[in-house]
Amino acid sequence: MYKCGKCNKPIHSNVNTVGIQCEACGSKIFYKERPNVKKVTKAR
Ligand SMILES: [Zn+2]
């Protein structure tokens, strides 16, 4: 599960897919929904 880096909305799509963006705000920055690991993923 990933979350949007901007609006914190959960992303249900595969963030590894090229060209996806947040349904809510259009952001292309996501991070894994894990308490201790904050890994930023940029969709190309
Ligand atoms: Zn968003």
How much is the pLDDT for 9?
A: 92
Is the CB of residue 8 less than 8 Å from the CB of residue 28? no
How much is the pLDDT for 36?
A: 62
How much is the pLDDT for 44?
A: 76
pLDDT, tens only, 1-44: 889 999 999 988 776 788 888 989 999 998 887 766 567 778 87
Q: What is the mean pLDDT of the chain?
A: 83
How much is the pLDDT for 13?
A: 78
User: Which residues neighbour 27 within 8 Å (Cβ) at sequence distance 6 or greater?
Assistant: 4, 5, 6, 7, 21
Give 13 Cα–ligand 1 centroid separation in angstroms: 13
Give 29 Cα–ligand 1 centroid separation in angstroms: 8
How much is the pLDDT for 38?
A: 65
